[in-house]
Chains A and B, each alone.
Chain A
């Protein structure tokens, strides 16, 4: 899968690292590839980048500076992954201003990649959700709210978009609106304990601090008419 991607990007060097403990298991997968495959049997990169899952991607600029790390699910067949790599290739890391500037935050890069994707696929609810999620993590709350709203317009049955919207609203000090969104999420996915507990934490904070009242939670489930 990488050969095709790399064939049209001669400006990108590529190093395949197998994290298998037994190198002999790697050889069949690495045969006849136009790139180098090394074996990290001792787990050096796992300790360096603190990962315990694969596949992962790390982008390094011309000066040897790590600019981007993606842990888990780094599959070039996924459009958003390919778009991430393309954006990195188009970023100028060599100018004095770029070298002096802070490293582009991962969330900002993620937002830009998703915005590029949305130009091509503006009616894809999952992309609007992903953008809302990235904006939320960036602290860009009003933008996140708009993205989640857009995701909901496209797919009203997506509980996660309602949940994300609630989170964006809550962080803007709008708790009653947040609760409305979270209740919409719960109505779409009644077994969702994450959503249910979020509502409880806002409406009944005394049941979570200083200790969690698990007995109360069981009673509350019965009161709310939900039994798993």
Chain B
């Protein structure tokens, strides 16, 4: 486990990436501008 000390991107803007949702919609990260956002990354394996 790593709590990234000099992690890539810390202090930088989150890129406006677009990803598909499980129900087929497109979600762009910029939609969360103005809110505090927690991104949780996981896998089913």
Cα distance A56–B42 in the bound complex, in angstroms:
7
A48 within 8 A of B: yes
Cα distance A21–B36 in the bound complex, in angstroms:
28
> How many whole Å from A135's CB to the nearest CB in chain B?
13
Main secondary structure of the interface of B (DSSP, over half): loop
Interface residues in A, total, Cβ within 8 A: 59
One digit per residue, 1 when the CB lies within 8 angstroms of any chain B CB and 0 when it does not, for chain A 7-44 equals 00001111111111001011101100000111110001
One digit per residue, 1 when the CB lies within 8 angstroms of any chain B CB and 0 when it does not, for chain A 170-188 equals 0000000000000000000
B14, B27, B38 — which one has the most chain A CB atoms within 10 A of its CB? B38
Q: Are B42 and A13 in contact (CB under 8 A)?
A: no
> How many whole Å from A2's CB to the nearest CB in chain B?
7
Q: Are A103 and B7 in contact (CB under 8 A)?
A: no
Given contacts A44-B17, A70-B4, contact A57 B12 (CB under 8 A): no
Minimum CB distance partner of B24 in chain A: A23
Q: Are B33 and A48 in contact (CB under 8 A)?
A: no
Q: Are B7 and A14 in contact (CB under 8 A)?
A: no
Of the candidates A29, A45, A102, the one whose C-beta lies within 8 Å of that of B17 is A45
Cα distance A10–B7 in the bound complex, in angstroms:
27
Of the candidates B2, B9, B35, B43, the one whose C-beta lies within 8 Å of that of A62 is B35
Q: Are B14 and A64 in contact (CB under 8 A)?
A: yes
Interface residues in B, total, Cβ within 8 A: 37
Cα distance A101–B40 in the bound complex, in angstroms:
26
Given contacts A17-B19, A57-B39, A65-B14, contact A48 B9 (CB under 8 A): yes
One digit per residue, 1 when the CB lies within 8 angstroms of any chain A CB and 0 when it does not, for chain B 2-45 equals 11111111111111010111100001011011111111111111
Given contacts A23-B20, A37-B21, A103-B10, contact A110 B40 (CB under 8 A): no
Q: Are A57 and B40 in contact (CB under 8 A)?
A: yes
Cβ of B11: which chain A residues have Cβ within 8 Å of it?
A: 65-67, 102-103
Cα distance A132–B13 in the bound complex, in angstroms:
31
Chain A to chain B: the 5 pairs with minimum beta-carbon distance, closest first: A73-B1, A69-B7, A38-B19, A103-B11, A72-B1
Interface residues of B (CB under 8 A from A): 1-15, 17, 19-22, 27, 29-30, 32-45
Apart from A15-B29, A15-B38, A19-B42, what 7 extra A-B contacts exist at CB < 8 Å? A38-B27, A51-B41, A57-B38, A63-B33, A69-B7, A70-B1, A71-B1
